[in-house]
Structure 1
């Protein structure tokens, strides 16, 4: 690898906002805030919207989508051309 062109690869805590799950991993992502981890060290923390703790596929909770409304809106827009 060339020197001085790659971002720093360091430990980062990823925290799920809705699921309450936090895990320590390595990443090049930077964060402004830090959190003290179980080992007593302070790591940058990145808040994520969804993870395996809150994703409908992993939790078994599915969301209902308004597919009938989408189909009707498509038919009104394009008619019977398709």
Structure 2
């Protein structure tokens, strides 16, 4: 392989905001924020909205979505199409 063409991989902490869980893994992601990990070392911190700790597919918990409100809001905004009218 050619030297100096690949991004640097280093330990990075990803924190799931929804579940309140943090993961230490290797990544090329960059961040200006840092966090002190359990072993006392300081690592870059990347906040994520969802991860395997909070995703419904992995947790088996489904979230209730207000689909009726979304459909009504869509129909008010754009109207009903000819194919939807009965």
TM tier, smaller = 0.7 to 0.9
Aligned equivalents of 1:18, 1:69: Cα separation in 2: 26
Q: Which runs of 5+ in 1 are unaligned?
A: none
TM-score (ref. length: structure 1): 0.78
- Pairs within 5 Å for 1:1-82: 1-57=1-57, 58-66=59-67, 69=71, 73=75, 76=80, 78-80=81-83
TM-score (ref. length: structure 2): 0.75
Please provide the CA RMSD for this pair.
2.4
Q: Which runs of 5+ in 2 are unaligned?
A: none
How many residue pairs get aligned? The number is: 79
